[in-house]
């Protein structure tokens, strides 16, 4: 029987400083054993627990897509003991990975529909995985129009720009990149994600929206979608609050009847609407 607390050994293959303020780094991890790589079958929206020897464990959304091979990609903010230690590590250092954990985005339910993806800041990680999956030749024809709206404070804080530019050049998705304020050399959109969502005004007809971002972005994006006629059942959101064990045992991420780690982290807005405001 598989021990759910036992991490799989991995090696850091590459470390990339992802943002201009050095607060975010992207780690490419490779499994030490091929059987572990084969057994780690995940879908966009899931997360994993990354364990750092001597520091602890932290839940992080998987930024790579199953179509990109066995290596795993994680973009991690330097925000605590574990992530600070992670930011000091280099290629060749060893870590543990436990997962995949949680439920993925319900992309099967979106077959034949338009998809609107709204992302803010570094919460875009699992939505990068989603976009790579959606635009893969095996999947793209299963969906109608794909709209991707993504914003960050400054151009230097936008993640995965090379990928996003390629998505745009492919013509397979409508891309809307924005930053909070005017910046030298920036010729794209300026404004917060809710403002851009209002300008783009995605139709709710035969559509599903995936939203992941900071709470303030979500707070002000919801009314925009409400005014456009979106129903709560059409809006999918991903929570990351207070997860610890990752498998619904410790109870730290309990909200109402749910454990965010094992019942989520992906929920419909209709499910969240009836939860206590603590989430």
The dihedral through the CA atoms of 202, 205, 206, 207 has a sign that is positive
- pLDDT at 68 (0 to 100): 96
DSSP for 140-172, written as a single string: GGG-S-EEEEEEESSGGG---HHHHHHHHHHTS
- pLDDT at 275 (0 to 100): 78
Alpha carbon 132 to chain centroid, angstroms: 12
Q: How many CB atoms lie within 10 A of CB 252?
A: 13
Q: Which residues of 203-239 are buried (b: 16+ CB within 10 A; e: fewer)?
A: ebeebbbbbbbeeebbeebbebbeebebeeebbbbbb
Token pair recorded at residue 144: 């109608």
51, 186 in Cβ contact below 8 A? no
Q: How many CB atoms lie within 10 A of CB 58?
A: 22
DSSP for 220-242, written as a single string: HHHHHHHHTT--GGGEEEE--TT
- pLDDT at 39 (0 to 100): 94
- pLDDT at 224 (0 to 100): 95
pLDDT along the chain (279 residues), means of 10: 86 97 97 96 96 94 96 95 96 96 95 97 95 97 98 97 97 97 96 97 97 89 94 90 78 81 87 75
Q: How many CB atoms lie within 10 A of CB 115?
A: 23
What angle, rounded to 10 degrees, do the helices at 125-135 and 161-170 form? Answer: 30
- pLDDT at 265 (0 to 100): 87
Token pair recorded at residue 267: 């929920």
CA dihedral 129, 220, 152, 16 (to 10 degrees): -40
| pTM (global) more than 0.75 | yes
- pLDDT at 241 (0 to 100): 66
- pLDDT at 278 (0 to 100): 60
Strand blocks (E) in the chain: 8-17, 24-31, 47-52, 56-61, 72-77, 94-101, 114-120, 146-152, 174-179, 189-190, 207-212, 235-238, 254-255, 258-259, 266-268
208, 268 in Cβ contact below 8 A? no
């Amino acid at each position: 029987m598989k021990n759910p607390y036992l991490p799989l050994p991995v090696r850091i293959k590459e470390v990339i400083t992802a943002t201009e303020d050095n607060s975010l780094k992207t780690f490419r991890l490779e499994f030490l054993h091929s059987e572990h790589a084969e057994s780690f079958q995940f879908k966009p929206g899931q997360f994993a627990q990354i364990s750092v020897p001597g520091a602890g464990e932290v839940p992080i959304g998987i930024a790579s897509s199953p179509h990109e091979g066995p290596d795993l990609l994680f973009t991690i903010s330097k925000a605590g003991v574990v992530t600070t230690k992670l930011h000091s590590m280099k290629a060749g250092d060893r870590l543990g990975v436990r997962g995949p954990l949680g439920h993925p985005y319900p992309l099967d339910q979106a077959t034949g529909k338009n998809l609107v993806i709204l992302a803010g800041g570094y919460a875009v990680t699992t939505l990068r995985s989603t976009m790579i999956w959606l635009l893969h030749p095996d999947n793209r024809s299963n969906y109608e129009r794909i709209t991707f709206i993504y914003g960050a404070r400054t151009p230097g804080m936008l993640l995965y720009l090379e990928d996003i530019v390629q998505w745009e050049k492919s013509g397979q998705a409508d891309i809307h990149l924005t930053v909070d304020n005017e910046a030298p050399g920036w010729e794209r959109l300026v404004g917060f994600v809710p403002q851009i969502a209002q300008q783009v005004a995605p139709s709710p007809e035969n559509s599903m929206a995936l939203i992941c971002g900071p709470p303030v972005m979500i707070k002000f994006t919801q009314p925009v979608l409400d005014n456009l006629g979106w129903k709560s059942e059409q809006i999918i959101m991903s929570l990351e609050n207070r997860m610890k064990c990752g498998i619904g045992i410790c109870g730290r991420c309990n909200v109402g009847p749910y454990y965010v780690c094992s019942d989520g982290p992906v929920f419909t807005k209709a499910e969240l609407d009836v939860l206590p405001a603590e989430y």
